[in-house]
Structure 1
Amino acid sequence: MNGDLSNLRKEYLKSGIDKDELDIDPIKQFSIWFDQAMQAGLIEPSAMSLATADNEIGIRTVLLKFFDEKGFVFFTNYDSKKSIQIEKRQQGAILFPWLALERQVRIIGNIEKITKNESLKYFQSRPRDSQIGAWASKQSSKIDSRDVLVDQFASMKKKFENKDIPLPDFWGGYRLVPNSIEFWQGRENRLHDRIIYERENDGWNTSRLSP
């Protein structure tokens, strides 16, 4: 087995970033890039890597469910490993790897729980089986086999048969409130474009970074 990837190379030629053409609001600029990712037909454009840490570092892929001027929201089990890390250290980073567009967006900030009403509104919009899945899975806990998970799902499905499914008290949303947002565009000869927005008081400072 040869694990040498030193000759695996690709030039990035699709586009560039003109700082003067970017929106002064990074959330609006993110929305522009997200729409372009959607229009390009990327697989799961809302998928983002979420990094958290306490005594150790954790990273996993989650789905962005909505964003606005307040931040970027995802949902999870509040007893999961990621939630435990978030409760100990309310900071994190998310990364959108839109590789087909030769783009990345990196966002760093503080993480906070959203309100129960916000979580309920989203929970009720989920397919019924996804609602049941939230009740069935004790996220991040060890199980002997997949059969255990399937049995738990079947048990919960029977429990809530012909009933509205309530929001679990151990499940809901988090919002990452950005302190910095970086837009990365691959360029030829590894001279990539990197534009970072950094929060200052009630506004944003914008800078170009060396690749």
Structure 2
Amino acid sequence: MQRTILIVEDEDILREIMKDYLLNAGYRVLEAADGKEALARFEEEEIQLIILDIMLPELDGWTVCRRIRKKSNVPIIMLTARVDEDDTILGFELGADDYVTKPYSPAILLARAKRLIESRYSTQENHPYEDTLLSRSVHVHIPSRTVTVCGEAISLTHTEFEILTYLMQNQGIIISREQLITKIWGYEFAGDDRTVNSHIRNLRHKLGKCATCIVTVVRAGYKFEEQI
């Protein structure tokens, strides 16, 4: 199945460069030059990944990301020329899955997009673990990417889902931040511990009263372990 990627970028040259790389990699590409057009495209089309610039006319990327997250967990890569770490953390708190700072290598951006798409839409047969992950309170069905907590369904972003399943697949085992970065984002990821901390914080918030299942082990990492 051909996957569809929406590029939201107001600079025509950058948008065309990204489009060429993605088309050559076999993806179907849609384009938007401002935030309002991006939301319209999102409503009209079935999209598997969004590459979203922050500084946009009409509506900025943060607003677009926030509105999309109210309806969908489609993977989002945010682009920015800003280098403030607080901006990066804000993007993750709004539900972005990855963050790329300009100037960037189109090849690296393509690699990150491909990784997100493959991990998000990989088939059940390619998954090395069982279909369902169970604890006393948290149930995860991997093929449908659904999560229930005490019988109530919750909505996770792509990255939050990947972190939760990785921790649950290794229940009781301490997973370092470096292991999480390598597993979830890949070796080329340029983020730091604050990126991981932000996603863990968001995940705990959504787990609600079961947030204590994700245990912080000081100077070591995290583990999934239900508290008695």
- Return the TM-score normalized by structure 1: 0.25
Which is richer in helix? 2
Identify the structure with bigger relative contact order (alpha carbons < 8 Å, sequence gap 6+). 1
Greater Cα radius of gyration, structure 1 or 2: 1
Which is richer in strand? 1
